[in-house]
Amino acid sequence: MSQLLVSGILLGGLYAMISIGLNLIFGVLRIVNFAHGEFIMVSMYLAYWTYFYYKIDPYISAFVIAPLTFLLFMTVFRPFVVKLADSSHLGQVFITFGIGIVLQNLALMLFSADYRSVDTAYSRMRIALGEVQFSLARLVVFLLSLVFTAALYYYLKKSYMGKTIRATMQNRTVAMLMGIDTRKVYVFTFALGAAITAFAGGLLLPIFYVYPTIGFNFALIAFIVVILGGLGSIPGTLAGGFVIGLTEALSGYFISASMKQLVYFCIFILILVLRPAGLFGQRGTEELGVK
């Protein structure tokens, strides 16, 4: 039983890591980014080819890919983000969904449908604590998810930019009247969310194979984690990840591995019936804004 709990917690940390960036973009800015999974896929390919050609460890290249992604969205893709933020929700759905399809098919055309992975010194390394064993790579992702959650929560609560982000998502009109450049806030937040997503993609490479359609699975789980934890709630992302991770581990063992998605979807629906705003969401945030 202890093995299942540890596996579920580590898996939950992994799910939280891939969902933090989405919570910034979807939960705070209310931009429905259906290309989130493809952002992860592209960053995994970047980490793979960096390792393939230059033998740079994915955990090192992730620290390069993330800042480059941030700079790209702050400069080259800035007009796109502004246009996306000003679009209707339906327009955002079509735009981001279309971008996801384009990125997916470009990856298929350039890299084929082959499954690719890296073989590092720690890829198959396992740590044993008594009867409990777990992967070193998953432990690293789990610890980093805790660090990123705490750092982002503190940044949004204490920093000036964090306060402007929260003010903008609570009421964009009032924020503009107070002198806040809301377009700058939207671009910065989108770029930060994309950078965190790119960083997560690099961390996932030693654990998962990368192929053009892998993003769909990650995006589905990330949306569930964000909504389950509460829109805009960074600690809620971590809690939502743990709920899904533990549900997968326990249901996969006691029921069936093929039924684990059904089980966590049932739990997801049940929690939203009881708490429409999610576990850590504020009442009304599912309709008006986030805390």
pLDDT digits (tens, 9 = 90+) for 272-282: 888 888 888 76
Quick check: 288 pLDDT over 70?
Answer: no
Average pLDDT over the chain reads 87
pLDDT of residue 283: 59
* pLDDT class of 289 with cuts at 50, 70, 90: very low
- Position 161 confidence tier, pLDDT thresholds 50, 70, 90: very high
User: Residue 285: pLDDT band by 50, 70, 90 thresholds?
Assistant: low
Reading the block at residue 274, the tokens are 């009881």
Higher pLDDT: 1 or 102? It is: 102
Cβ–Cβ < 8 Å for 236, 229: yes
pLDDT at 291: 40
Taking residues 137-162, report their average pLDDT. 89
β partners of residue 135: 126
Instruction: Provide the strand spans (E) within the chain.
Output: 126-129, 132-135
Cα radius of gyration (the chain): 19
Which percentage of the chain shows pLDDT scores above 70? 96
- 265 sits in which H/E element: helix 260-274
CA-to-CA dists, residue 230 to 19, 24, 76, 117, 236, angstroms: 12, 12, 31, 33, 6
Distance CA 197, CA 191 (A): 10
The sign of the torsion formed by the CA atoms of 193, 194, 195, 197 equals positive
Q: Tell me how far apart the alpha carbons of residues 218 and 80 are, in angstroms, rounded to a whole number.
A: 24
Query: 122 is written with which tokens?
Result: 């720690």
Average pLDDT over residues 127-132: 80
- Residue 67: pLDDT band (50, 70, 90) is very high
The pLDDT assigned to 76 comes to: 87
- CA dist., res. 182 & res. 117, Å (int): 41
Among 74, 51, 86, 41, smallest CA distance to 200 is for 41
Residue bearing tokens 């971590």: 238
Taking the C-alpha atoms of residue 150 and residue 235, their distance in angstroms, rounded to an integer, is 8
287 pLDDT exceeds 60?
no
Mean pLDDT value across residues 11-16:
91
What is the mean predicted confidence (pLDDT) over 54-81?
92
In this prediction, residue 183 carries a pLDDT of 87
- The mean pLDDT value for 205-232 works out to 90
